[in-house]
Structure 1
Amino acid sequence: MTTVLLLRHGRTTANAGGVLAGWTPGVQLDETGTGQVRAVGERLAPVPLAAVVSSPLERCRQTAAAVLTGRDLELATDDRLGEARYGDWTGRPLKELVKEPLWKVVQQHPSAAVFPGPEGEGLAQTQARAVAAVREWNARLGPDAVWLACSHGDVIKAVLADALGLHLDQFQRIVVDPASVSVVTYTDTRPFVVRMNDTGGDVAALVPPKKKGRRRRRADSDAVVGGGAGATA
């Protein structure tokens, strides 16, 4: 099983100001966001990570840097984990965007939403590239790896929707707060969504158990009938 920790960047000046940042360069964490990522970096310190992969945007690189503190790892970036390309919506206040006809499509039928302008993409494209990135990194790092992907709210929601087997039109039901951690374990036949929007939970269950001998356990892709005893049992 390969486990990915999906970390959203901390709060930014754009988040606080109600602006859709998109791929706007230079958007950084604000004071609250800096505190959030310091806390999440400390909380995740016990979890052994095979890699830390980030969106190339500065707010994610700042967040990933906090996770890398004290680790002998270099930050990798992947454009496919970058923010949705909002096109002509980029940099505009949300209070203006809610008046656009496309806003209702984004809310009610996001699989059909394509953002305007030559730089805009569809949310279905965003999901496809992000899921492809996660699965390619899973294959590269191997079945026993635990790794972290630092990305953006809509991107993480799209990856979680795919892992949950939800149509993209349902992804607005998922909440991904700044500096939250969501966890998905991928097996040969299905993903398991272990956590969503975790902003303060204990991380002991994310540390891989020590291997004991060669005795084959139940297939990693099998769900526990009845729900099981939990990860700490």
Structure 2
Amino acid sequence: MSAFRLTLVRHGCATGSHDHVFGSTNAPLSADGRAQLRSRWQQLTAQPVDAIASSTLARCADFALDAAASLGLQLHLAHGFAEQHLGDLDGKSKANWSAQELQAWDDWQRNPQASPLPNGESWDDFSARTLAAFHEWLARTPDAEHRLLFAHQGTIKALLLHAFGLPASRHSQFWVAPAGVVSLWWDNEANGWPPMLLALDNTLPD
């Protein structure tokens, strides 16, 4: 496979995200969330894009469909890129969380692998399906020089932790804001070394 650039884009704010946490809950983009992505879009295409993929959840897919059409590209939609299922807390108003659920959330934030959420998807299962979806996409686009993926905070973290050989307990070092972007470069001469981190940008363009 040739060397390639990978741009990971987190979706914008979803409707209700100020008082809920969304994993597999299919909340749409808010008006602000769509505006955030529009603000980011021109910057994203400064480097020509020749492959584009997205989570199947609406807060990624709705904008990604329009983005792919604007570039004349076919969008690769994959459930494997969807956010981690957060169990009993998924889509539940924070105002209704019990003391035990608050503690479970804090423990999960420290180490999502060691402290799974009640009835939630395990970190290992989530990471495995994310990586499987990623490798399938790579196989479908062997000659792409710039791949762009619209995804979620957790999906992006899972890919980065794997790429840099880090444990799940280090996920917080890759926090990505709504419409934030991470850019990586895979050098086909790297011989097993991790990709180059080109940028982690949480500031929206003016």
1:37 matched residue in structure 2: 37
State the structure with more CA Rg. 1
**Corresponding position of 1:22:** 23
Opposite residue 196 of structure 1, the aligned amino acid is L
Which 5+ residue runs of structure 1 have no aligned equivalent? 202-233
Q: What residue in structure 1 maps to residue 196 of structure 2?
A: 192
Shift of 1:98: 7.1
The gaps in structure 2 that reach 5 residues or longer are: none
Which residue of 1 is the match for residue 117 of structure 2? Answer: 115
TM-score between the two structures when normalised by the length of structure 1: 0.75
Within 2, Cα distance between the matches of 1:139 and 1:75? 15
- The 8 Å contact of residues 52 and 76 in structure 1, kept in 2 or not, is answered as yes
Letter of the structure 1 residue corresponding to residue 49 of structure 2: L
For residues 85 and 97 of structure 1, what CA distance do their matches in structure 2 show?
19
Q: 1:94-133 maps to which residues of 2 (within 5 A)?
A: 94=94, 96=97, 99-100=100-101, 101-117=103-119, 120-133=120-133
What is the aligned partner in structure 2 of residue 218 from structure 1?
none
CA RMSD of the aligned region, Å? 2.2
Matching residue's letter, 1:113? S
Q: CA deviation at 1:88?
A: 1.8
Q: How many residues align?
A: 197
Separation in 2 of the partners of 1:126 and 1:70?
31
The one-letter code sitting in structure 2 at the alignment partner of 1:183 is: S
Offset of residue 102 of structure 1? 2.1
Matches of 1:146 and 1:104 in 2, distance apart? 37
Change (3 A) 1:116 1:14: same
CA contact (8 A) 1:163 1:193 kept: no
TM-score where L is the length of structure 2: 0.84
- State the AA in 1 paired with 2:31: E
Structure possessing the higher relative contact order (Cα contacts under 8 Å, 6 or more residues apart): 2
